[in-house]
Chain A
């Protein structure tokens, strides 16, 4: 394992771990929305048929 190998490995892992930690902290600390979004199929899609 060369020093450059260590650098690439550590930077890659730190980047991914940092990203996932940031995301999950935001996900878990934010209240979820309650309103359901679906409308039935009968809604007008403005499609030009």
Chain B
């Protein structure tokens, strides 16, 4: 292999890139709603337990797996899995680490373009909800449906030029320009600027929200303190009894673990890819903990103080109860910005912040597939970027075309963005702790590490985490799977979306097979040659 290997330029760069991958729309829109629904402040007890006992251990395992695979020259999930499992079959399990980021990118880039589109609408003052407050909800919903084409399939491709499609083209192009520049010059450099800028935007919006006071004297209860109380006061889930009862609900603990799981971006195949570019003495323990804590900062300290209190102050309990990423972000908060002084400016800041959160995530979704195409087909970056661009553009156009009620987007998110990431995390944890060996993994993790991971980690990663993940999967199969299958059988768009997933899986499996044959043909070289090349 004569091609120069990519690497991170700085340790801070890789941490910000991983944190940028983890910080996304869920930090600002999903977390507050989930917390408020599941016991408010009481939710934070299972939430932090899940962070300490599930989230961070899985993160550390992924970092260690990636770094281990990297020392064999592998940067993609199939290559890393093969190096860890030492059997070809493990390479095929690595298909999940390619499929997940590629398919999620197909719809995530669309949501990202909505964020930038809304930021533009606020900057230019084009999002007008009219003068009649009683029609704000209806007009806000109409504006969103019109912008996204949620009312009818094919609306975005009816021959006319739609702003949202133009923004999608722009965002798609920005992503691929950055990814083409490479790991250090593209992703790392961008994240070094984007992450502080995102924090700056978030702090500005937070300052505005916390200084709102009581904007409507006729409604004195709708003030900032009560808004914070709606989010943070511990309360029972079903409305009766003490807040302690919330902790007795298994659903609350599962929701907390689910939130941590999805928020930290574990099971995406991204951390493994990013960690594979680390240097010999890089500290995966500290890097993993720092990236996780950065994600938590955006989620708890910023996300937990902005959206729900803002919605409560202007719209009361009804507004604050809007949950779900799209409802809270695109149908509720625009009404908040109408009432808020300097609403257009803060609306722009908020949606621009969401755009930055989204683009740092979407960039990370492309790199694993780029690395794999380069490794599997032995092609250059230009060819791999072009091939991946073509594939993801087709997938994204599929989501844009079948826009009615976001059926295509919802199906892809349900199956890939929700279920398959749990499946991949389960595969990873089993591979790390049972196949590779938790003792070896624990020892490898500490190479170059300043922090010492408690020995309890070994027990957690070997028994607790797999059990938890299998319970999650089992509950989903028992509770949700029959309904999802019925939907696929009965409706055309979900069926097509599943067909897309299956087609992509087969395509990637064929590529892994070709890559596997190529890797098996490669001759063994002495370690001294390898080291001479590595340091030369």
Contacts and interface: CB of A to CB of B under 8 A. Distances in A.
A47 B82 contact: yes
Contacts of A9: 41, 228, 232, 304
Contacts of A48: 86-87
B282 interface: yes
B243 interface: yes
Q: Chain B interface: which size bin? A: 35 or more
A43 B12 contact: no
A42 B48 contact: no
- Interface majority SS on B: helix, strand, loop or mixed? helix
A4 B39 CA distance: 12
B489 interface: no
Interface centre among A11, A34, A37 (most CB of B within 10 A): A37
A23 to B, nearest CB: 4
A1 to B, nearest CB: 4
A42 B1 contact: yes
B300 interface: yes
Given A9-B41, A33-B448, A40-B530, A16 B293 contact: yes
Nearest to B282: A33
Interface string A11-49: 111011101100110111010111111111111111111
Contacts of B519: 41, 45
A43 B70 CA distance: 11
A32 B10 contact: yes
Interface string B225-262: 11011001110000000010000000000000000000
Given A4-B243, A8-B41, A45-B83, A35 B279 contact: yes
Contacts of B290: 20, 23-24, 26-27
B296 A43 contact: no
Given A27-B11, A42-B523, A44-B524, A2 B88 contact: no
A13 to B, nearest CB: 5
B255 to A, nearest CB: 16
A47 B436 CA distance: 12
A30 B228 contact: no
A8 B437 CA distance: 39
A26 B286 contact: yes
B301 to A, nearest CB: 5
Given A8-B41, A39-B71, 17 more contacts: A4-B234, A5-B234, A8-B42, A8-B234, A12-B44, A20-B296, A27-B12, A28-B12, A35-B280, A38-B70, A40-B533, A41-B72, A41-B73, A42-B529, A42-B530, A43-B527, A47-B83
9 contacts: A1-B233, A4-B234, A8-B233, A9-B228, A13-B300, A16-B297, A30-B283, A37-B278, A47-B83
Interface of B: 1, 5, 7, 10-12, 15, 40-42, 44, 48, 67, 70-74, 82-83, 86-88, 225-226, 228-229, 232-234, 243, 277-283, 286-287, 289-290, 293-294, 296-297, 300-301, 304, 375, 448, 450-451, 519-520, 522-525, 527, 529-531, 533-535
